[in-house]
Structure 1
Amino acid sequence: MDQSQRLLLLVMVTAAGVSDNDAGKQLLTRLAESHPTVTKAWVDTGYKTQAVEHGAMLGIDVDVVPRNAQVKGFSVVPRRWVVERSFGWIMMHRRLARDYETKPEHSESMIRLAMISNLAKRATGETTITWHNP
């Protein structure tokens, strides 16, 4: 996500069996190739040293954002709210509220469409039809 404009830069959907580190390394490689000016990334604790080291090799400073161990249950974690907010926007589109797609490419396309819809909503001030307000 581009924080200043809230634009989606890259989407990558993987099978559930792919580790966070492996997916993270693939994503960072694709990000460095398609957006060479990106120099900073924040990740959750599922990404261990392999992804952080791979990012460093690509010139991307990868910071792991840990959970607040002192708080039980949900708490807002710096930088993590950007991801959670994005998931919320995506889930407003009924087709993405469940895992209906059989191919990762289809899921990626549906996520792009959802984010285009959100961008159009912000640009025009109009609300788009979602499954919450048919």
Structure 2
Amino acid sequence: MRDKYQQRATPIIQVTHIWNWYHSIGFDGGKMVKGRKRHVLVDTLGLVLMVMVTAANISDQRGAKMLFWKARRQGASLSRLVRIWADAGYQGQAFMKWVMDRFQYVLEVIKRSDNLAGFQVVPKRWIVERTFGWLLWSRRLNKDYEVLTRTTEALAYVAMIRLMVRRLAQEY
């Protein structure tokens, strides 16, 4: 897919909240949400590189650390990555330094302007928001019905595989 669009993979991380009444449930005091969070690492085309589901009370930075370690443990080919765009939940010099020291990635936080009224497309952030929209097309991911976080992660990969296969099939 990347060859067709002639783009390199620059990942973007962001988190979204999902609700569940089973296990791994937490409460996010910032957004006042009970449930789980999906931490997603995508490339510049919005294709999923890595997914991790955690309780909602896990901070964005802690979830990102877990996501990076998971990617390294699973041997994900992230060696070409240089820059990572993230939303404001990942800001902070200590976290940026941690990412640079451990993984040699430059973390660039893309913030929404305070003077924007209503919904405005924020450069780079729309890519991961679009990915969440694609994932929510899947009925099993629209709401969190799963007991195990691993199941939700697997369903996210299956939904992305389905999307990529359909795109490739349209070319022929």
Give 2:120's aligned residue.
Answer: 75
Give 1:20's aligned residue.
Answer: 60
Match of 2:83 among 18, 40, 47: 40
* Contact 1:52/1:62, CA 8 A, preserved across alignment: yes
Give 1:129's aligned residue.
Answer: none
Q: Give identity over the alignment, percent.
A: 35
Partner Cα separation in structure 2 for residue 106 and residue 15 of structure 1: 14
Match of 2:105 among 21, 39, 60: 60
TM-score, length-normalised on structure 2? 0.67
TM-score, length-normalised on structure 1? 0.84
Give 2:130's aligned residue.
Answer: 85
- Greater shift after overlay, 77-86 or 117-126? 117-126
Give 2:156's aligned residue.
Answer: 111
Partner Cα separation in structure 2 for residue 30 and residue 40 of structure 1: 18
Q: Which runs of 5+ in 1 are unaligned?
A: 127-134
- Greater shift after overlay, 60-69 or 46-55? 46-55
More strand by share: 2
* Contact 1:21/1:46, CA 8 A, preserved across alignment: yes
Q: Which runs of 5+ in 2 are unaligned?
A: 1-41
* Contact 2:47/2:131, CA 8 A, preserved across alignment: no
Give 2:32's aligned residue.
Answer: none
- Greater shift after overlay, 47-56 or 37-46? 47-56
SS in 1 for 2:44: coil
Partner Cα separation in structure 2 for residue 82 and residue 14 of structure 1: 22
What is the deviation of 1:31?
3.8
